[in-house]
Structures are given as structure tokens and as C-alpha cells.
């Protein structure tokens, strides 16, 4: 899919294809529609990132809260979005030992208690060992550092989703 194809999409098609590039935040896709025509896929992504950066802290926290826990209840119950399921599987989170799952659940819970939003990391750029290490390390940060770090991870997740969509590899979740 090239940028001409993207610019030629109706609003509904654009939302169907790109509505979940930020997990469960189709409003962001709907907002960047106003910036069409895009000169490139990169420029479209840039519009998404600028929109996110323009949000107050409460908006950025809201985006983080739309992300499911890693190895959480939704993974176990099979209710993750297609994108999230693939990402968590690729990071090895579907084949955890019971001890590893308990550790992740405990660290997730400590993180949420401290910061009030979930731990977010680009799972495809990581693996289960690095994720646990990062959780332990990021638990030491202060809330503002984590808000910024989590937001940067959301952008990495978005970048990989857009790449896969434009290659036609990913069948998007329609929200």
C-alpha cells in the first residue's frame, strides 16, 4: 500500500485500516484524517505522534490505559485485539512458565499501583526476559519519566503496526 492508496481512501476505509494503530484509540486516527493528503506514510505517522505529543498528561495517561496488560487477563481469555495478540505472542508471552506469569502479574500490579496506568512496552522489540528486566528497572522511575517512556513505546508499537499494514501483512482489528 503506498501513500496514493492511503490518500485515496474514504474516511471509513481509513478508519477500518488504521483505526487501531494506537491500541483502542480510533479517535487519534479520526483526528489525523484532517491532515490529508499526506506526502508519505512517514508523514502520516508524524501526524499521529504530533497529536499524541499535543495532549495533556491526562490524555497521554488515557492512551496508556487503553493498552492491555502484558500476559494479563485478556491474553488468557483470548480477548486481545489481533495486533496485541500477535505482539504478545512474538515476545514469548503465550508460552510463559507459571512462575514467569506470576512474576509478570506481580510486577504489572506493582507498576499500576505506583503510577496509576499500565506498564507499556513495544513487545515486538523485546522478549519476555527483557520485559521483566525493564519492568523492574522502570519501577524505579518517577511518574513523569514513565509517562514519557510509555508514550514513546506507544509510538514504537504504532510504527510497527503501520509498517505491517502498509506491507499488507496485518489484518487490522476493526473497532
Residue 157 interacting with ligand 2AL (CB under 6 A): yes
Residue 61 interacting with ligand 2AL (CB under 6 A): no
**CA 156 to centroid of chain Cα atoms:** 8
Residue 67 known to be catalytic: yes
Stretch that binds ligand 2AL, among 52-60, 66-74, 94-102, 137-145 (CB under 6 A): 66-74
Give the active site residue among 51, 60, 64, 67.
67
In the bound state with ligand 2AL, the residue whose beta carbon lies nearer, of 3 and 132, is 132
In the bound state with ligand 2AL, the residue whose beta carbon lies nearer, of 16 and 74, is 74
Residue 67 interacting with ligand 2AL (CB under 6 A): yes
* Residue among 32, 48, 49, 69 that touches ligand 2AL (CB under 6 A): 69
In the region spanning residues 31 to 60, those forming contacts with ligand 2AL, defined by CB under 6 A, are none
**Residue 93 contacts residue 123 (beta carbons within 8 Å):** yes
Provide, rounded to whole angstroms, the least separation between the CB of residue 11 and ligand 2AL: 26
DSSP of the chain? --HHHHHTS-HHHHHHHHTTSSTT-HHHHHHHGGGPSPSSHHHHHHHHHHHHHHS-HHHHHHHHHTSPPTTSHHHHHT-S-HHHHHHHHHTTTTS--HHHHHHHHHHHHHHHHHHSS-----GGGS-HHHHHHHHHHHTTS-HHHHHHHHHHHHHHHHHHHHHHHHHT---PPP-
In the region spanning residues 115 to 144, those forming contacts with ligand 2AL, defined by CB under 6 A, are 118-124
Residues serving a catalytic function are: 67
Question: Which parts of this chain interact with ligand 2AL (CB under 6 A)?
Answer: 67-70, 84, 87-88, 118-124, 157
Amino acid at each position: 500500500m503506498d501513500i496514493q492508496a492511503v490518500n485515496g481512501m474514504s474516511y471509513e476505509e481509513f478508519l477500518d485500516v488504521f483505526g487501531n494503530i494506537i491500541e483502542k484509540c480510533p479517535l487519534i486516527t479520526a483526528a489525523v484524517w484532517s491532515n490529508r493528503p499526506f506526502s508519505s506514510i512517514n508523514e502520516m505517522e508524524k501526524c499521529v505522534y504530533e497529536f499524541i505529543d499535543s495532549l495533556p498528561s491526562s490524555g497521554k495517561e488515557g492512551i496508556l490505559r487503553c493498552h492491555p496488560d502484558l500476559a494479563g487477563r485478556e491474553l488468557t481469555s483470548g480477548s486481545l485485539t489481533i495486533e496485541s495478540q500477535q505482539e504478545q505472542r512474538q515476545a514469548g508471552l503465550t508460552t510463559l512458565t507459571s512462575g514467569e506469569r506470576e512474576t509478570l502479574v506481580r510486577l504489572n500490579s506493582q507498576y499500576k499501583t505506583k503510577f496509576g496506568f499500565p506498564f507499556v512496552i513495544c513487545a515486538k522489540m523485546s522478549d519476555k526476559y527483557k520485559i521483566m528486566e525493564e519492568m523492574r528497572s522502570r519501577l524505579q522511575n518517577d511518574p513523569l519519566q514513565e509517562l514519557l517512556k510509555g508514550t514513546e513505546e506507544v509510538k514504537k508499537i504504532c510504527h510497527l503496526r503501520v509498517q505491517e499494514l502498509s506491507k499488507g501483512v496485518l489484518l487490522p482489528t476493526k473497532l
